[in-house]
Amino acid sequence: MTGISGSWLAAAAMLALAGPAMAEDLRPFCTSRPGLGEPPCIVDRGYVVAELGLGDWTRETEDATRTKTFLSGDGLLRFGVDRVSEVQLGWSAYGRTREIDRAAGSRERTSGVGDVTLGYRRSLMNPSGSKLSIAVQPSVTLPTGGQAIGQGSWSADLAVMGKKSIGGGLSLELMPSISASANESRHGRHLAYGAIAGVGIEARKNLTFTTEISAIRDRDPSGHSTELLLGEAIAWQPGKNWQLDVGGAAGLNHASLDRRIYFGVARRF
C-alpha cells in the first residue's frame, strides 16, 4: 500500500508540474460561433469545446406566409483528436415555429427537437487559426428531429474554411461550401452551394467584431433561389476558456429571411 500511495503522489506531483506547461502550450481559444461562417481553427488534442446557443430567433416572410422560429439549446461539442483534426457532434434541444397565413390571419404552432449533425474538421495549414489558416470539414445531418425544426431527410455538406490575418487586429475570412441539402418536401435531396466572406476586427485582446456576407444558391425542386445575408457578431472572452457572444443577420433580397438575432456561450474543458 505504501508503494502504491507513493506512486500516486509522484504522479500527482508530475501532473501538477506539467499542468502549467500544458496550459501555456494551449492555442488561443477559438470557437465556431458566433457568425454565419466558421473559422479554420482546431481544438487542442484531448480537449473539448462545448458551444451552446441560448436563444436564436428568426423571422421569414414569403408571399402567403410569415414564419417565426425560436431555437434554444442549439449545442455543438468539438473534441480534439490530434494536432490537426477534431470531431464534432451537434444537436438542437428545442425549437418552436409559428406560421401565420398572411391572408386569412390563421396561425399554426409546432415545437420539438432538432436533427443530429456529425462533422470532422481537418487543418491543412496552421491549426491554431493564425496567419494564413485553412481547414476542410465534411459533415452529415441525420433526420432525428421532428416536424418543427427537423429536415425530415438526411443531408451532407462539405466546407472549406480560410482565414488570413492582415495585421492591426484585422483578419479576412472565406468559407465556400457545397451541400446535398434536404428538400423542402422533407423527401430527397438537392444541390446547394455558395460562400461566406467576412472581416474580423479584434478591438481588444478579448473582444472581436465580425461582419459577413453570405450568398447561397439553393436548387430545391420546389423552386430555385439565392439567399443573400448580411451578418454582424460580437464575441467577448472574459477568460482564456470562456466566451459570450451575440449576433444578428438581415436578408438582402426577397429570397432571404427577414432577420435573425441570437446569443450564446462557449467553454473549453
**DSSP line for the chain:** -HHHHHHHHHHHHHHHHHHHHHHHHPPPP--S-SSSS-----PPBT-EEEEEEEEEEEEEE-SSEEEEEEEEEEEEEEEEEETTEEEEEEEEEEEEEEEEETTT--EEEEEE---EEEEEEEEEE-TT--SEEEEEEEEEEE--S-TTT--SS-EEEEEEEEEEEEETTEEEEEEEEEEEEEPTTSSSEEEEEEEEEEEEEEEETTEEEEEEEEEEEEEETTEEEEEEEEEEEEEEEEETTEEEEEEEEEESSTTS-SEEEEEEEEEE-
Higher pLDDT, 99 or 6: 99
Closest CA to 86 of 18, 161, 142: 161
Q: What does the pLDDT read at residue 5?
A: 41
Q: What does the pLDDT read at residue 62?
A: 87
**In the predicted structure, residue 2 carries a pLDDT above the cut 90:** no
* Whole-angstrom distance, CA of residue 135 vs CA of residue 126: 9
- What does DSSP say about strands 107-112 and 48-61: parallel, antiparallel, or unpaired? unpaired
Band of pLDDT at residue 25, cut at 50, 70 and 90: confident
pLDDT per residue as tens digits for the range 200-245: 999 888 999 999 999 999 999 999 999 999 999 999 999 999 999 9
Q: Rounded to two decimals, what is the model's pTM?
A: 0.87
Average pLDDT estimate for 166-183 = 96
pLDDT per residue as tens digits for the range 46-82: 999 999 999 999 999 988 889 999 999 999 999 999 9
* Whole-angstrom distance, CA of residue 1 vs CA of residue 8: 11
The CATH topology of domain 29-268 is: Porin (2.40.160)
Contact assessment for residue 83 and residue 45, using Cβ atoms and an 8 Å cutoff: yes
Q: What does the pLDDT read at residue 147?
A: 87
Average pLDDT estimate for 177-192 = 96
- Return the percentage of the chain with pLDDT > 90, whole number: 83
* Whole-angstrom distance, CA of residue 56 vs CA of residue 177: 23
Which residue do the cell numbers 446557443 mark?
Answer: 53
Q: What does the pLDDT read at residue 236?
A: 97
pLDDT per residue as tens digits for the range 92-147: 999 999 999 877 778 899 999 999 999 999 999 999 998 999 999 999 999 999 88
Q: What does the pLDDT read at residue 187?
A: 94
* Whole-angstrom distance, CA of residue 178 vs CA of residue 164: 22
Higher pLDDT, 148 or 9: 148
